[in-house]
Amino acid sequence: MIITLILQSSSTLISILVGMIAGELLTVHQAIPIMFGAEMGASIMNALISLTQSGDRSQFRRAFAAATMNDIYNFLCYLLFLPIEILFAPVERLSALIVSPLSHMKTGKFQTLNALTDPLLDRIVQINSDAIKEAALQNTTSKSNSSETFVRRCINLQTKEQLTFCPYEHIFAYSTWSDTWIGLTLLAISLGLLVICLIVIVKIMQDLLAGKIAVLLRKLMDKKLPYPFGWLTNYLVMFVGAIIVVIVQSSSVFRSALTPLVGMGVVTLEKFYPLILGGNVGTTFTGTLAALSADASQLQETLQIALAQTIYNLFGILAFYPIPFLRHLPIQLAMKLGDKTAKASWTFGIL
């Protein structure tokens, strides 16, 4: 959970777990409890977005409830399924059963949004992934002296001499900064850009979804399937949420886009709930792609942890959606948290 709080992406942590299993640093049995915790803690971005609506107490109450609902739901799943997994290991056993006939599958490289972002990232900084992997496998920093670095450079850090031929073309190729300072600089810039983007997104949505458009969208969200299939409407909403997250490759971004809509009353918490449940299933696609790109000798284990996340999220839906009382439990807890946070104006000092 702590790593998810830092990364703000459960799918990234799952991809890291896949890599650690592929490198034989963890077993699937050890990784599954970590995966359970990885589902919690990715709501800081949503909470920041809800703060942009703090000028209107009613909007902030709804937005903050939406921002925290996913963590509340995942915490309930954690409390329910972790003891069951420790005692009976249903997720581990079911995932192992599913992947057992797939162990001979050929692997390959998959790219989605990375195909768009990687060229830009390569212009900013290039990381020696092989050196990092070697350091992880050897449980050491692998930097024997100050001239070695995890950043690909065109300069010798010890002698300060530039290489005659250098294939790297990024901002820090000729920098003499340490890896730590480069990382801190990029982190600060990234956080600043993130905050700016979040504010701009919320403002744009508020302008676009004002008036007639908001009314139209609200009507679309309130539509149900014709009788006798009306009870399947929210399950269809889950499916739509899963597809959207598979496309954007980030459930955090998906929830961040929906949070201001909930605050404005365009999307209700009751409709937001199945959307995020579907999004939680959709985000497991990233881990599956990472598993399929792993070494063929480790395919069964890496694919198992990726599928274990999918199974865990499906179990969560079965536990906290079909039964009305349990379905409303995360919604009610989120609403109470939103009410208390909105009333306690001293908490943020800006309400």
pLDDT tens track for 76-110:
999 999 999 999 999 999 998 988 876 555 555 54
Q: Are 292 and 102 in contact (CB under 8 A)?
A: no
Both 234 and 302 in one domain: the answer is: yes
As given in the structure block, the two tokens for residue 306 are 């990726």
Mean pLDDT of the chain: 77
Both 200 and 213 in one domain: the answer is: no
Both 108 and 220 in one domain: the answer is: yes
Residue at a domain's end among 177, 208, 239: 208
Q: Which domain holds residue 217?
A: 2-112+209-347
Both 103 and 151 in one domain: the answer is: no
Both 135 and 45 in one domain: the answer is: no
* Residue 83, amino acid: P
Query: pTM for the whole thing?
Result: 0.70
Both 161 and 310 in one domain: the answer is: no
Both 108 and 122 in one domain: the answer is: no
Q: Which residues of the chain have pLDDT under 70?
A: 1-12, 15, 23, 41-45, 102-117, 132-148, 194-195, 198-199, 201-203, 205-221, 249, 290, 293-298, 345-351
Per-residue pLDDT tens for 110-162? 454 456 667 888 888 888 777 766 666 665 444 444 446 788 888 877 877 88
Residue at a domain's end among 145, 180, 208: 208
* CA–CA–CA angle 105, 108, 109 (5° rounding): 150
Q: Count of domains in the chain?
A: 2
Both 261 and 342 in one domain: the answer is: yes
Both 149 and 294 in one domain: the answer is: no
Residue at a domain's end among 181, 208, 235: 208
Both 216 and 204 in one domain: the answer is: no
Both 141 and 80 in one domain: the answer is: no
Both 173 and 295 in one domain: the answer is: no
Q: Which position has the token pair 């699937």? A: 28
